[in-house]
Each structure stands twice: as C-alpha cells, then as structure tokens.
Chains A and B, each alone.
Chain A
Amino acid sequence: MTKEELYGIWAPTDSVWSQWAKPVLFASLDRGFELDPRMGVPADITWAPSPQSGTALVLDLPGSEGIDIALVVAALGFRHVPLYNAQPGTTDCSYIGTSSELDLFVGPVALVDVRPIAVALQKGAAVLQQGRIERNAPPVFLLDARRRGGGIRPDEGDFDNRSISFPTDFPSANFLLAHAICRVIVVQHNDLQPQPDLAHTLRGWQDGGIQIQAKDLGAAGAPVDIVVARPSRFRSILHRILETFGFRRNVLGGFGGIVSGAGAG
C-alpha cells in the first residue's frame, strides 16, 4: 500500500471532515508496505454517545491510544480525523517496514516519538477498510496528548518535533453547527480540563454555542459538562503571533528560548 492509499483511507475525499486531516505523518511514510490488520485489545467505549446524537469527539490521548478508540467508534459510525502534526524525524527517519516493529524505522527517534502512531495508522487502515462509515458521520478528532513534549528536556542533537494544536486546525463552531454538531466530548486521561493549547479551540466552540463535555478515561462514568476557562490572550488581535511569541513558548516550557514569532513572511 502506498502512502496515498493510506491517506485516502484515513482522509477519504467523500468526507466533509477530511479537509482537516493532517498529512505530515503520512507524508513521512516513504515506502510501500503491506497492511497488517492485527489489533490490540478493543478499547472500552461504553461512555461513547450515539453518532446520531449530534456529538463530535476529540480524543486527546497519548501516542496511538486515540487510534485504538477511533477504530472502535468508527464501527459505531464516527468518522476519524487524524490531527497528528509532527514529523517522526528527518528523511533519515523513514518507515521501511511491513510489520509493527518500531525498529523498522531507520534513523534517530525524534523528541516526540510518533512512530507508534504511524504504525497504528497503518494497522488501523486494514480495519477501516473492512467497514463502512456514512458520509455524514460525525467527526472524531485525533490528537497526540504528548505533542508538546510532556516536559521532557531535549538533549543536544535531538530532532525537536514538538507541536501545539491551534484553533485553525479545527473547523469553526459555525461549521460544526451547520453540520448538526452541537456537542463535543473531549476524551483524555486524569483530567477534565483540556490542555492549554486545545483550550483555545474548545473555548471558541463553547462561545459559539457548542456544549463541551469531558471524559476522563481513568474514571468511571459518563462524560460530564465542563466550562472551558478563558485561556490567556484568548482571541487577542495578535492571537496567532501571541500564541507563538508567548503562549507557545510557555506551553513548550520555554525550551532553549528559541521558539518565537510567527511563521515567516
């Protein structure tokens, strides 16, 4: 299977949500590979709502854990939208294997190890191929909860692939409402409040009339309503640049002081 075919499975052209899928991890899969449908233990999704309930999911879970859940809720009728936005390394780090063994990646590991995600995307594609998801299925957005590095201090020479999630990585509240999504459940571990970067998106949705709920996978019970606190510098006129100047630097823990300013002109 080529990376185009793999991307086509995870971001099919007939889904309205596919335009938000992030291509970077798929682009790094430089060589063809065989699908491997072996999956782990199915995730517990007894908390998950019906896809007919006008609910979108945001799975902010570490590594490939979000993919495990996405595959199970896909069977219910939710449409996966991978938002993994980090390179596994330089081109010296390419996926060359046909199995899930991580050492089939050549080259050094980056600061945020996204290789298990790449492997899970490959394995999950086989599962998705066996099912069918409706065109108007509600979305389940997939994020790596470790995207900001998890407080790890990079060693000299590491390939630093940390990233943050921006509101512009998601559809707007208006777009969600126009597609009959009026509730969003954030799924994460050990907390009900979202990570600081994701809070910007959720607060925007909340202000736009979307009900926000949270599900802590470490605790029993159904998702609960949350009020997303107004993040620092929320919707500032310099929102994007402030995110990068100050917000992002704080989020990343101020590593090296080298992250600043917006993208180049």
Chain B
Amino acid sequence: MMLHHCKWDPQIGDICTLANFPLILHGSIWEKLSHWAEQLASETLAVEEELVQHPDLHRRLAIPWKIRRVLQHEKDLDPTPSALRIMRFDFHPTTDGWQISEVNSDVPGGFTESSSFTSIIAEHYPGTRTTGDPVEAWTKAMLESVDEGAVIALLSAPGFMEDQQIVSYLRDRLKARGCRALLASPEQLTWRDGLVTMNSTRYHGRVEAIVRFYQGEWMTRLPGRCGWSHFFFGGRTPVTNPGTAILTESKRLPLVWDDLTIPLSTWRSLLPETCDPRDARWKTDESWLLKTAFCNTGDTVSHRSLLTEKAWAPICRDVYRFPGQWVAQRKFNVLPVETPLGSVFPCIGVYTINGRTAGAYGRIGQRHLIDFEAIDVAILVEEGDG
C-alpha cells in the first residue's frame, strides 16, 4: 500500500490506520445503501442546481463572501462543465436504523483505501466481493470526458501530504490509462477565454481537464490572477468537481431545505434533525452535537461527552460568537460492531459517480466519532448474497 498505492499516512500517532480485517455486509444491506446513495445523489444535484439560482440563501449556508459574490454576479454565465461528478454519503448503523451524517459533495477523499486497499483485503476473504472500485469507475468516467492522451492537471494544496497522496494515486491510475496527469497547485493555472493553460517548470501548455482536490472554501484565499471564479462559471475546460459543489458541501444545507421546491424525501428520512445552533439547546441538551459548516474529516465535530471542559469552553465561545458558521445536529447512537480491535463504531461512505454507486469507503472509530484518527477498513459483501 505504502510504496505502490500512495498510502503515505498509515500511522497516526499510536494508531495504525489500516485495519487488517474487513467489515462484511450482507448483500441486501449493500443493495439498500447503494440505492439510497443514488437517490441522495439525484436529490443533491437537483438541490445544487436550484441553489445556484438562489443567491439569497447562500449566506445561510455559510458560503464565504467572495464565493457568494461570484455566485451572485456571474451566474448568468454558462456554468463550467463538469468532467464528472463524485460525492460520498456517510452512512452509520444506528439504533434508529441506517442514518447519514453528511455528504462529502465537494472534495471527497478515501480513494486509495476504498480501491487498492479493499481489493488487497478481498483477496484474503474468499466468498466475498468488493462493493466496486471507486477509482476505476472514476478513471473510466474521466477518460470518457477527455480525448485520448489528454493532459489532466490534478490540484492540491502544498503541504497537505494527506491530499497529495490522493492526487498522486489518481495521477498513477490516469497515467496507467495513457493520460498525461500532472500534479499542480491552483496558482500554476492560467485561464484565458475559459480555457486553461498550466505553467510549471515541467509543462507549459493547454490542460484538457482539471481534477480539483482543493476545497471550495479555500479558493477565496487564492490570488485573483488564478481566475478561480472559472471553477464556477465561464470556464470551458471541464473541472471535477465543479465549484458549485460547495453549495451542497455545506453542513448547513438542511437549514434551507424548506425554501426549496425539491422534496428531498431521502435526505429528510436519513439525516438526523439539523438546525442553526441558535435554535437548539445544545448547551444543556446532550442529544445535540455541533460541527462547522465546512467540517472535514470530523475535525470540528464537537460533543460535550467527547471533550474536556477546557476543550469544550472555546467551542462554546466560538458557537456563540459565530453561530452562522456552525450547525447543530441530533446525535445518533451508532451500533457498535465486534472486531479484533474490540467494539468499534463503523461509518460506511458510499460513493456515487455521475449519480451511480461506485463503491464504499469504510472507517471505524473506537469512540462515537469518525475523525482523522479513525481506522480505514475494507468493506466487503458476502458473495452470492443479494
């Protein structure tokens, strides 16, 4: 994994982050999750399309003001085409049935673990199969959107090894299929007439597609000359995912549901009650947890029971000071699973690519939280079952 599949962070502190056992699902369960994921993807795309036409709701989603300005003033330009659209919905088995905590709509990760790692584990478990190879599906979809031998730029932020290992993995998979795939930072791109050229010491010229492993909310920190607004509108070079994905990435998305025409029945049935922190008694009622609108890898998921008093206090201050940047969500009780590591709490992220299920990314936590210390686990399905 480490030397050939770009898994460069298999150890986080004292924790090995790769489980040497899989979680095995009944076929019928996988079928159900897969079906829900496709319904959720369909609803999410419809919501996103509607939200683009509703700049009045963007502030409530905590969209940074520079992006709000682009979304408001440039929405009459053509939307930048999407090379493909990938999302990941995080499912949890709870005492109230399966529930989702969120969608990673903008820049989902976990590719190495859900593809190569899962395949390697599956080889040792006869009678099981993988849920698919998300990166194989991703590569196939990407190749369908570009010409043969195309130059593809994969963007990530310098200094983020956890992100660089992912784009390196995607690059290797693209190169194996005949593409010229290049790692880059957004600052190395120049937009002219909606088309992109890359300027680096190793390549200068046109780029046929962009893989944006660079989160939407970070784009506002880029210099204007990067032309980052083209990730949203006015670009002719396809981008995956398009910048407008930030609208559904916001964990405050449920706060605007009632202002939209899309019924969102799957979302409403699977997501726990979610509201503005000002509308929840989160300080005294421990059935609420808090997270920021653009929480990644569970970094800002906060619950009193998971924190010391000293750590909880600044969270409270921040929520009181900037409630519009946070969201309160009913805490669900995840059912533990017995494993060689003892009782763990699983999370099954289901990818969709262009609306179709593409595989699963498993993580297990030794407490009621899936964060950067969670352990990656292969998700397999019983063969011949469903």
Contact = CB atoms under 8 A, between A and B. Distances in A.
B94 interface: no
B215 A264 contact: yes
B3 A27 contact: yes
Interface string B221-233: 1110000000000
B13 A170 contact: yes
Of listed B14, B188, B300, residue having the most chain A CB within 10 A: B14
B14 A175 contact: yes
Contact of B8 (A22, A164, A264): A22
A101 interface: no
Interface string B102-121: 10101111000000000000
A91 B164 CA distance: 12
Of listed A27, A162, A258, residue having the most chain B CB within 10 A: A258
A260 B221 contact: yes
Interface in A232-265: 235-238, 240-241, 244, 248, 252, 255-265
A23 interface: yes
A245 B59 CA distance: 21
B202 A4 contact: no
Contact of B199 (A156, A163, A244): A156
Contacts of B158: 160-162, 252, 255, 258-259
Contacts of B8: 22-24, 27, 85
Nearest to B371: A240
A22 B12 CA distance: 11
A162 B3 contact: no
Contacts of A23: 2-3, 7-8, 10
B68 interface: no
Nearest to B105: A265
A105 to B, nearest CB: 12
A264 B315 contact: no
Of listed B3, B16, B213, residue having the most chain A CB within 10 A: B3
A26 interface: yes
A71 B104 CA distance: 45
Name A's interface SS.
loop
A3 interface: yes
Interface string B79-104: 00000000010000000000000101
A87 B13 contact: no
B261 interface: no
Contacts of A258: 157-158, 185-187, 218, 221-222
A248 B159 contact: yes
Contacts of A3: 3
A171 interface: yes
A90 interface: yes
Interface string B139-162: 000000000000000000111111
Contacts of B88: 265
A33 interface: no
Interface in A1-25: 3-4, 7, 19-20, 22-24
B223 A257 contact: yes
Nearest to A2: B3
Contacts of A256: 185, 187, 222-223
A97 to B, nearest CB: 19
B188 A237 contact: no
B60 interface: no
Interface stretch (B21-29, B38-46, B167-175, B329-337): B167-175
Contact of A163 (B159, B213, B300): B159
Given A157-B200, A237-B311, A240-B372, A265 B159 contact: no
Given A24-B8, A90-B183, A265 B300 contact: no
Given A258-B158, A265-B297, A26 B175 contact: no
Contact of B222 (A22, A257, A261): A257
A259 B156 CA distance: 10
Of listed A108, A159, A170, residue having the most chain B CB within 10 A: A159
A262 B343 CA distance: 28
A264 B218 contact: no
B165 interface: yes
A168 interface: yes
B161 A20 contact: no
A159 B294 CA distance: 28
Given A7-B2, A85-B8, 10 more contacts: A22-B8, A27-B6, A90-B182, A92-B182, A107-B202, A236-B311, A241-B296, A256-B187, A264-B108, A265-B106
Interface of A: 3-4, 7, 19-20, 22-24, 26-27, 85, 87, 89-92, 107-108, 156-164, 167-168, 170-172, 174-175, 235-238, 240-241, 244, 248, 252, 255-265
20 contacts: A23-B10, A89-B202, A90-B202, A157-B188, A159-B200, A159-B201, A174-B14, A175-B14, A238-B300, A241-B296, A257-B221, A258-B185, A259-B160, A261-B218, A262-B297, A262-B372, A264-B106, A264-B108, A264-B109, A265-B295
Interface of B: 2-4, 6-8, 10-14, 16, 88, 102, 104, 106-109, 157-166, 168, 171-172, 175, 182-183, 185-188, 199-202, 213, 215, 217-218, 221-223, 294-297, 299-300, 302, 307, 311-312, 314-315, 372
